[in-house]
Amino acid sequence: MNAILTVARRELKALFDHPTAYILLVVFTSVNGFLFFREVDMYGVASLRPMLDLLPWLLLFLVPAVTMRALAEDSRSGTLEVVLAQPITELELLGGKYVGQMAFLVIALAATLTLPLGLALGAHLPLGVLVAQYVGATLLIAGLGAVGIWASSVTTNQVTAFILAVAVMFVLILVGLDPLIVGLPPRLGAIAASLGVLSHFTGIDRGVIDLRDTVYFVTLAALFLLLAYFALMRRKLTARGASLQRLRLGTVLLAAAMIVVNLFGRHIGGRIDLTPGKSYTLAPATKRILGALPDLVTIKLFASSALPPQVAFLKRDLDDLLRDYRAAGRGRVKVVVQDPSADSAALREARTLGIPPVQFNVLGKAELQVKEGYLGLAVRYADGVKTIPFVQQTNDLEYRLTSDIRSLTTTTKPAIGFGEITDPQAPPQMRRSFEALRQQLEQTYTLHAVSLSDSTIPPNTKALIFAGTPDSLRGAQAGILRTFLDRGGSLMLMASGMERSPQGPFSFSRPVGWNELLKPYGVSIGSDMVYDLAANARVAIQAQFGQVLLPYPFWVQAASTKASPVNAEIDAVLLPWPSSLDATKAPKGSVTPLLVTSRAGGVQETTALLDPSREFRRDSLRPRLLAALLSPSAQDAASATHGRLVVVGTPDFASDRYAQNSPDNIVFVQNAVDWLAQDEALIAIRSKNRTPPPLAFASATMHDIVKYGNIIGVPALLIVFGALRLWRRRQITRQVYRPLTLAGGAA
């Protein structure tokens, strides 16, 4: 081990004593920073995924450039024979070379830590995901670094080693993609996909350290280091001697064993979930529901064996989830996997259950091909069946499966009422549709329509939802709602204090009839419109040469306070044209803020011009309350379970138009309804959020400091450090040699 560390220190020092190392670091950090912020500025989210998506392609050139001289230069200059003549073995030399090159590449990766540090100034980054992502990047470097060491061991020319390493890494990165496997048989295509680098790296950079991916990168590094060791040993053995034959046979057997371990590693379970709320681990509520099943539940997965790689990776997540369901069911959850493409009986059953084949666009050799495949689910309990025709994502799959199992195994659903308050004179483009929200609520609740003109509310109704703003509440209407709240009912209000004009891009203040009902709670909805100059959505505006994206402060990306079960796992919700909530008169502890603006929040009163290119006032900017949870328990202990309310300052955010592109809007409403109906078992499941938090810097100046500090500042610091170190080294080498004077002679 001491010999390995000695060689590693020598390698690392030799790299930093040469200008090439600093050139590589400067190019890597500047190109990485530029490409990273180009993606971040486009999508406005705080995530390292843009960097990680490009990292394999940057390492495709960085790793060969670093490792090409590791053994090739020593072999060309004859240094290799001199080193091996010392008391050091080929294995120790190879290990030291590999560790030294890895140390340099890890230092290059560490230079990118300024990116998450900069993003942390504009968003709250989950530490666990960052740790998993950098662990995954280190494993990727370990695998590719071994390829570079091997390429340097089989040639004496650095350029040849560089080209050979790039070629092999290019194949490892591309293998498994559609253009390469489109003509392969399904099983062979699946094997090819599992041998590729990208599918395993994508699994880790989401925030989950999967044992299968770790095994892949470890065996990849071990395989190429074994080949490099064979190349070193072959130099000193007789060309046709018995020792070389034994070495060749041992190398082949070990390489075959590593490949077999890699292939069978796909079936190894075990992972470390470092995502917030353990998004890829079954929630406790799911485990409780599955552990208390009254009888056998059968989950049938209809999946084709020939799926494109991007869908095959999705199926791997699906297989993991179903395996967890089977384990949590304790014998009462049965998982059956069938391939309708190869089994006629499974095909007939899939058609009966309404699970159709889905067409995939597959890029083949010089052509775009269309293939059909299945990836659907059916949950069966007794005579009831629930189906998911096609699994497009796994973000909400646990909630969908658990809610389906729960609805199949329970006999009754709680009742809630939904009412929409609209102006009958409003033009069609101003009317709202809530079909997506209704469909989601009907999976868990019995949903019926209500209106303010109803004389009574059914006694079995657990909660009411109203979207819209009445000008006033007549005495009888307010009395019915107060009676409903007093008897333990709950209420969700989605209303604003501004009304948009159908004639132009204007909005005018209006009276809010709900404030009379909210008065005992000390809360009111303002007759204003809130804007946020830092956290907002972007809209497409027609320009002279096409469309351009402009920030629209009236579409607020409201930050979640994570202060209650309603929003504990939600990062942000899109609120279009919201009004502020005033809770200054509320009793202490009775109001829980749910959604707020950033520090750059302002209000427009009386009249608001809705044009996104207009100027916004920058005085009186501060956080504004946009959604709140009201509970009278702080006022009256006897009413601890009565009169729950959730108030949101806009009725538009849950409509189909906005919820389609912002799914967290629907999740927020569902969580709120669960809390209002006091049926909170599914909240933790549904709220699992795998989307990165929105990026909102306090000012444009802060954004520019972070951006150009990474693109220009970090490379500049590396240039200064490299120049000083090389200058210091030159000063030392120019010193005249002076032999030490013996102490006795000096006397």
Domains for the chain: give ranges and CATH numbers.
2-273 (no CATH), 284-407 (3.40.30.10), 415-678 (3.40.50)
Q: How confident is the model at residue 639 (pLDDT cuts 50, 70, 90)?
A: very low
Q: What is the pLDDT of residue 283?
A: 82
Q: How confident is the model at residue 364 (pLDDT cuts 50, 70, 90)?
A: very low
C-alpha 588/C-alpha 217 separation (Å) is 55
Q: What is the mean pLDDT of residues 16-45?
A: 87
Which of 123-132, 199-208, 236-245 bottoms out in mean pLDDT, i.e. has the lowest?
236-245
**641 pLDDT more than 60:** no
C-alpha 188/C-alpha 197 separation (Å) is 17
User: What percent of the chain shows pLDDT beyond 90?
Assistant: 26
C-alpha 29/C-alpha 143 separation (Å) is 21
**Angle subtended by helix axes 90-110 and 127-153, to nearest 10:** 140
Q: For residue range 706-716, what is the model confidence (pLDDT) as tens digits?
A: 889 989 999 99
Q: For residue range 252-275, what is the model confidence (pLDDT) as tens digits?
A: 777 777 777 766 665 666 778 787
Q: For residue range 648-685, what is the model confidence (pLDDT) as tens digits?
A: 999 999 999 888 878 889 989 998 998 888 776 677 67
Q: Is 144 exposed, middle or buried (0-12, 13-18, 19+ CB in 10 A)?
A: buried
C-alpha 446/C-alpha 417 separation (Å) is 8
**362 pLDDT more than 70:** no
Which of 5-19, 196-210, 293-307 bottoms out in mean pLDDT, i.e. has the lowest?
196-210
Q: For residue range 68-122, what is the model confidence (pLDDT) as tens digits?
A: 988 888 788 777 767 766 777 888 888 888 999 999 999 999 999 999 998 888 8
C-alpha 368/C-alpha 361 separation (Å) is 7
Q: What is the mean pLDDT of residues 347-358?
A: 88
Of residues 141, 142, 164, the one with CA closest to residue 151: 164
Of the ranges 192-206, 236-250, 368-382, 573-587, which is most confident?
Answer: 573-587
**208 pLDDT more than 50:** yes
Per DSSP, 494 falls in state E
C-alpha 476/C-alpha 457 separation (Å) is 13
**587 pLDDT more than 90:** no
